[in-house]
Structure 1
Amino acid sequence: MAIEEAIINIEETDNDSVCKIPEVEWIPRVDMQFDSEEVAYDFYNEYGGRVGFSIRRKYKNNNRKDGKVTSRNFVCCKEGKRGEDKRDRKTKNRRAETRTDCRARMLIALNVEFGKYIVKDFKDTHNHPLISEDCAHMMPSQRKIKSVQAIDVELAADCGISIRKTFELSSRQAGGRESIGFTKTQCLEDPSFFYAMQLDSSAMITNIFWADSKMISDYGHFGDVLTFDTMYKLVHGNWPVAVFLGLNHHREIVVFGAAFMYDETTDSFGWLFNTFLNAMSHKAPRMILTD
């Protein structure tokens, strides 16, 4: 009953689909001015990264004489509906639907008199769950590096350093943050990997949990229902191996996290589930299936 008692103690949290954020300088508003269309895009993209959604450019209007953009509409990546699938109708596994006809947008128009782009319309209501800020860097519009980092990549390439090693170095330079709140627990996180260790009174490791960026990203998309068990055990020491599993949109098994446990007590399971929630930005699953 230790697993069941630990699961009951998890406090479920709801994902609010409407942005409720105080008015601050990084939130778009009507009549806000920008020097160029690109500046407006970067501003709205930064806002999307903080709130938890990816953006894209939709339609634009150009001046017929000089071709300059006179208006542009920036929308949420889930805007609109997918058109008819033109692939073979015999296809069994079709692509998952990613559009929800979201109405969130920021419309800008050129003020010819001042030569600046002005926000004419702004809607911040979404009809889909938003991504946590910890995972926002994995969204399509957020996957970019700064100019300084690009220079470092070029210098590393000239010195014969592989791209993989260069990005690993950039990830470490970005730094992590220490997560607190667990007694006798050490928990470190960086942009690409999360792990936590629980220590006993003798400073010996008892439980270990880890999840990489892909696991965290998969949980954000497919973590409504997960399975959990400790059927596997290490040969030496007979330590239980705990695994959080789920299914993606292709009905393939995906791993959300894993742990080595010292024992199968309520305290150990309670620490594990709380650590799992901490790694997943406190997004609780709707259902947990266990043996």
Structure 2
Amino acid sequence: MASLNVRWKKHGKWIVTGFIEEHSHTLDTPRRTKKHRSHNVSHKIPVAKDLMEHLHSCGMGPSAIAKAINTTGNTTEITTEHVVSHLRKHRMNNVGREGYLVAMHFMEQLRVDPNFYFATEYDSDGTLRSMFWADARSREEYFVFGDVIVFDVTYKTNKFMMPFAPFTGVNHHRQSILFGCALLADESE
């Protein structure tokens, strides 16, 4: 019910034409306003960002990171969504540099082994979206044993939170064999 109405007048000024102070809910105390999304900025503090990155590099998941940071006595609560959002932005900021180093390594592998294969996909801004690679042995085994292929994207343990997708099969001794690998931007088709 609370509202503030303003109009632009020809003289180059804003004029208040209406104001209703009534609220349809009780107002929060200053102590409770820290729970509001607009007031919660702890996740933007550099120390909190560094702590999120460090805990994630130690293998902690987003919800465990949020719980750990919240137990430090922050005045505002950091949610799992804050952590996921920050880690996603951090991944996007660093994946270009890391992707370049991996591509350089793959180029060296290609120079050493002409049957090595890799492919990369980039965003319009040059950020690595996904990559696929297979060495000569894996490619040879694919042509011999590639009747059935398992493609699994359940692994997300890398620091960029990109799904890791191994392409696997089974040889004539019923042993698992690797045909190739990929890091993907997401799990979409």
Shorter-chain TM-score above 0.5: no
TM-score (normalised: structure 1): 0.26
Q: Which has the larger radius of gyration?
A: 2
Greater per-residue helix proportion: 2
Greater per-residue strand proportion: 1
Higher RCO, 1 or 2 (CA under 8 Å, sep at least 6)? 1
TM-score (normalised: structure 2): 0.40
